[in-house]
Structure 1
């Protein structure tokens, strides 16, 4: 039977679900947020009351047994992505899975295999793909606005007092058993996925990572090199131990006739050629994930193609492991 409405349950109603994603499930067409789950029952109930969600649980298995729900948003830290994704797919639910897809490439492969086994629909929450600024970047690249693409360069330089991530009660993002690594594992999946979205499949990758500052034990600097199937070259540096005065998070795409410069915040793009310099400005959605959630709903309803497949998420997971010098199985 074809679904006419996507009825959601959220597993993990923490800081990300408060503004960036949660309200979008209620505001999108053909969508209803029916239940939320958090292991802390008091916090689960509080979220449900504040966001006018009719049902809450403190046990994910109970939410997955709820026959009123046909789709699940997994918004827990990465350490439980594999477990909940497998359980949700086995329960016959569609899955919208937060990034990074899993703790490792090995775990991501298990999720891809489960999606194929249970025939469920799964989308990775690389939401920047659906933001107006990055759709415009892709259009400019595809139209030849800067000629043939030669090189893409990413620089993400931040201090230890990182301001680019959502607040949380505990800084689990620098606990590798929960996050998979440090801040690189939280931010870089978006950056690498955008390159995959702009330029297609990646042929080869090399990387090195290091812990330079004893403030925490995870690697705080990561270098990576990429070669795409189409011959475009890429490089990236992610550093989380520099002075605040050095802070930047930018991407430059160099072409045979000019370049594009933009930050990953999605507010503006600079187009620079021999003939002109032009700036495009964009207003970000109130709930930053809403465009991606709407595209996911359309996919789950059979109206559109998958906005970010598990296989694409798997490729990002592989590059992440290569860049951070993890073992690849």
Structure 2
């Protein structure tokens, strides 16, 4: 409705509850000529730009594998079966917490390494707290042939809590988090080095600035519906929705 009324839109991530819905939004944007932006703000944060810089500078040589590991305990609201959070209601959210948190991880990796063209996964509900999946394993391949894998568990014990992505190269490895902003660890023949770039207090500010400059004709913001859609495709493939 907004784009048909001539108003640019800024959509929370993920862009929609399904890949098909993303395609419909992009079609309306194309038909109306009105831009659609998606809030994958982590692309613009100094923390993740540092990771990109190290990869592009060849700090770990040729990248040969990507691994995502994420685990967290259930939230207090997850135990209230009569009033479950909307994020674990697939008919509203598209999936469970995977559909809420994994988009940030998958978008960052595709922004760094290109689109994922192959993906498959295995989902299960191990906790029985809500109807959505709570444990997922996946493998995927980028358009360059770079392979990757991921595991997510949203009913883990506190001792298993983890937020980690490993970028493995033939000359080293980069380890970083997506939500906890632990120090970025660079492992090379020099040993272990840590970096912790400071993010702005308002984390969406850099992206909002880019959107405003795009609308003013001063720059081009690439965090749009077209670039956001592949993440929904990957998630839908992993959850066997496509």
Q: Fold conserved (TM > 0.5)? A: yes
Aligned-residue CA RMSD (Å)? 1.6
Kindly indicate whether residue 17 of structure 2 is the aligned counterpart of residue 103 of structure 1: yes
- Residue in 2 aligned with 1:75? none
Unaligned runs of 5+ in 2: 78-82
Unaligned runs of 5+ in 1: 1-86, 164-168
- Residue in 1 aligned with 2:191? 276
- Residue in 1 aligned with 2:64? 150
Contact 1:267 1:283 in 2 (8 A): no
Distance across 2 between alignment mates of 1:260 and 1:115: 37
1:29-62: per-residue Cα shift (whole Å, max 9, x none)? xxxxxxxxxxxxxxxxxxxxxxxxxxxxxxxxxx
TM-score, with normalisation over the residues of structure 1? 0.69
1:151 to 1:88, Cα distance in 2 relative to 1, 3 A: same
- Residue in 2 aligned with 1:189? 103
Q: Secondary structure at the match of 1:249?
A: strand
Question: Higher Cα Rg: structure 1 or 2?
Answer: 1
**234, 241, 245: which one pairs with 2:148?**
234
Distance across 1 between alignment mates of 2:97 and 2:172: 32
TM-score, with normalisation over the residues of structure 2? 0.93
1:246 to 1:289, Cα distance in 2 relative to 1, 3 A: same
**121, 139, 147: which one pairs with 1:225?**
139
Q: How many residues align?
A: 236
Contact 1:162 1:240 in 2 (8 A): no
Kindly indicate whether residue 206 of structure 2 is the aligned counterpart of residue 291 of structure 1: yes
Contact 2:2 2:9 in 1 (8 A): yes
Q: Secondary structure at the match of 1:177?
A: helix
Distance across 1 between alignment mates of 2:150 and 2:224: 23
Q: Give runs of aligned pairs for residues 114-263 of structure 1, distance below 5 A.
A: 114-161=28-75, 171-263=85-177
1:162 to 1:251, Cα distance in 2 relative to 1, 3 A: farther
Cα distance, 1:239 vs. partner? 0.6
Contact 1:207 1:322 in 2 (8 A): yes
1:104 to 1:254, Cα distance in 2 relative to 1, 3 A: same
Contact 1:267 1:282 in 2 (8 A): no
Distance across 1 between alignment mates of 2:119 and 2:239: 11
- Residue in 1 aligned with 2:224? 309
Higher relative contact order (CA 8 A, sep 6+): 2
Q: Secondary structure at the match of 1:144?
A: coil
Distance across 2 between alignment mates of 1:183 and 1:145: 33
Cα distance, 1:307 vs. partner? 3.2
- Residue in 2 aligned with 1:56? none
Cα distance, 1:275 vs. partner? 2.0
Distance across 1 between alignment mates of 2:202 and 2:216: 22
